[in-house]
Structure 1
Amino acid sequence: MYAPIPALNLLKEFEDGVEDYFAPGFELIAFGEDDGGYPPISDRIRPFAQATGSGSAYAIWLLDDRADLATLPVLLLGDDGGVHVVARDLPELLRVLASGWSPMCGWDSVDYYDEREEEDGYDPCPGNPAFRAWLRDRFGLEAAEDPNAVVRAAGAELRDAFTAWIGPLIPDAVAGRGPA
């Protein structure tokens, strides 16, 4: 078993069965065995995947004590700084990943961009059509049409709880953030 989250175990099986990336820069890592580069919050996060090729990571945020970890919010831990809520739960993140976009973040903001727009004909994710089909077959979910809207909505919905938790631990994570 890879993780105490059935959806991640299924994702691990899928990842092990494809040879190519299925989302730009995404790769599962040892579940919860890392602090994601943010030791002050390590007791409340469970990193589970590399988010970019440069070292950013996705982590489950242990917002509360609910038993189903897949229903907890997902954070992006930026390799150059920045900690952001990017999804209300794991299924929402899977929809964002299926869109084929990559995260970009700093301390003040997070957005996703489509690497395929950088170079004509470039496809960083030859496994993405298989991932989209897998997501549809396993969970009945489709790729997010606008990943930025999904990320912004999750951040706005959880802003107060996130700020109250992380502000005292990592002030830069909330400094300069205005209203949604």
Structure 2
Amino acid sequence: MYAPIPALNLLKEFEDGVDDYFAPGFELIAFGEDDGGYPRLSDRIRPFARATGSGSTYAIWLLDDRADLATLPVLLLGDEGGVHVVARDLPELLRVLASGWSPMCGWDDVDYDDERAEEDEYDPCPRNPAFRAWLRERFGLEPAEDPNAVARAAGAELGDAFAAWIGPLVPDAVADRGTA
């Protein structure tokens, strides 16, 4: 078993069955064994994937003590700074991954970039159509049309709780949002 989250175990099986990226820069890592570059957060996060080829990380945020970890929010921990809520739960993140857009973040914000516009000569994730079909068959989910809207909605819904938790630990994560 890869993780205590059935959906991540299924995703691991899918990833092991393809020979290339199915989402730009996305790659599962040992569940919960990394701190995503933020050791002060390690007791409340469970990193599970590289979000980009440069080292940004996705992590489950242990917002509360609910048993189903797949229903907890997902954070993006930027390799050059920035910590952001990008999905309200794991299924929402899977929809973002299926979009084929790639995350970029700094301290101020997170932005998903549509790399598909550059696909004329290079496809950054040739297995994405297979992933989309898998996501539809396994979970009945479709790709997010606009991953930025997903991230903004998650951030808006969870912003106060996020700022209250992370502000004392990583002040830069909330300083530019006027909530520090």
Match of 2:146 in 1: 146
SS at structure 1 position matched to 2:75: strand
- The reply to whether residue 134 of structure 1 matches residue 138 of structure 2 is no
Deviation larger for 62-71 or 109-118: 109-118
The Cα of 1:120 is off from its aligned counterpart by 2.7
Distance in 1 of aligned mates of 2:56 and 2:87:
15
Q: Kindly provide the amino acid, as one letter, of the partner of residue 132 in structure 1.
A: R
Match of 1:15 in 2: 15
Match of 1:177 in 2: 177
Deviations 1:92-151 (CA, angstroms, capped at 9, x unpaired): 000000000000000000010022324633210100000000000000000001111011
SS at structure 1 position matched to 2:46: strand
Match of 1:64 in 2: 64
Runs (4 or more) in structure 1 with deviation over 4 Å come to none
CA contact 1:116–1:122 (8 Å) conserved in 2? no
The Cα of 1:20 is off from its aligned counterpart by 1.1
Q: Kindly provide the amino acid, as one letter, of the partner of residue 60 in structure 1.
A: I
Q: Kindly provide the amino acid, as one letter, of the partner of residue 45 in structure 1.
A: I
- The reply to whether residue 47 of structure 1 matches residue 47 of structure 2 is yes
Match of 1:122 in 2: 122
Match of 2:97 in 1: 97
Distance in 1 of aligned mates of 2:117 and 2:82:
24
**Equivalent pairs, count:** 179
TM-score by length of 1: 0.97
Distance in 1 of aligned mates of 2:122 and 2:137:
27
Match of 1:163 in 2: 163
TM-score by length of 2: 0.97
Distance in 1 of aligned mates of 2:118 and 2:172:
30
Distance in 1 of aligned mates of 2:95 and 2:106:
22
Q: Percent identity?
A: 89
Distance in 1 of aligned mates of 2:164 and 2:12:
33
Alignment RMSD, CA only?
Answer: 1.0
